Structure 1
């Protein structure tokens, strides 16, 4: 059974979090939501409040196939979270898939994970990611995939991004069936 660890934080972009989780659930993927703060409460960009399943201190990369990092304005607030850095690097060292959308590729760039890697991100973070060695994939693309890193632009590409992740985990035939609403 496939499992995804989703990172949650105050200021997370609603669409990038909830749409992705919904698609993963519909695909039959087990999803655990990890909060980066000491609380299990998250307040999204649109001020929606919800409870996360677990705290990031309990995140073990060996239990998951993929780490999902949504974006949003709250990414700036978690850029100095050392525990998040540790967990992201653990997934990377263990050759696990890592998916980051919108501003979240900054977290990968900060940790050297985007060095010499093609990426897509929100326009506001392209320069930062390039300054850390990332190679911007271009404005005409919505998704970049290289090695075990999957990145995407912003909330408008969340559906396509999430379905790409489903395809990577479960195959193109399953993705097609899911798109048809099996």
Structure 2
């Protein structure tokens, strides 16, 4: 069974977290929600609370197939926490997947993981990430998967399922949520 660590900071963008997590779980992936802070209840940017399975402190030494960072105002907390780039660097060094959406690719850039890579992000960080690909909802480069924002969260989730599980699993999830044929 594939495993994903989804890290939730206060102020995460709910659609960017919940939609991919939902799709991954539908595909049989074990997704662990880790609160960046010490409280298991994490408040999203729009006042929706999620109950994390554990804290990042408790699971930071575990090995996951993929580490996933949602975007939103909480990205500033990722950037202020030295554990996050350390975790991402270890994940990349062991050849694991890294997924980030919206402004979260800035965290990957901080960790030195975007140099020479194809990626995308939210338009709000274009000045900081001038090499990002514009107009693509999702970009995959090796085991790096990035996406633009809340409006691309479903597409992002389906691509995660395809890359981590299979094209058949992606198609099954897409059909179950009435995703339009693409």
Counterpart in the other structure of 2:26:
26
**Contact 2:71–2:103, Cα closer than 8 Å, also in 1:** yes
Give the Å deviation of 1:120. Answer: 0.6
2:161 is equivalent to residue 159 of structure 1: no
Counterpart in the other structure of 2:105:
105
* Gaps in structure 1 of 5+ consecutive residues: none
130, 134, 137: which one pairs with 2:133? Answer: 137
State the distance in 2 between where 1:162 and 1:12 align.
16
> Structure 2 length normalisation: TM-score?
0.91
Shift >2 Å, 4+ stretches: 58-63
168, 171, 175: which one pairs with 1:180? Answer: 175
State the distance in 2 between where 1:60 and 1:77 align.
16
> Structure 1 length normalisation: TM-score?
0.91
* Gaps in structure 2 of 5+ consecutive residues: 178-182
Give the Å deviation of 1:170. Answer: 1.3
**Contact 1:68–1:100, Cα closer than 8 Å, also in 2:** yes
State the distance in 1 between where 2:119 and 2:81 align.
22
Question: Residues 72-91 of structure 1 correspond to what in structure 2 (within 5 A)?
Answer: 72-91=72-91
RMSD of aligned alpha carbons: 1.6
State the distance in 1 between where 2:162 and 2:62 align.
21
**Contact 1:32–1:53, Cα closer than 8 Å, also in 2:** yes
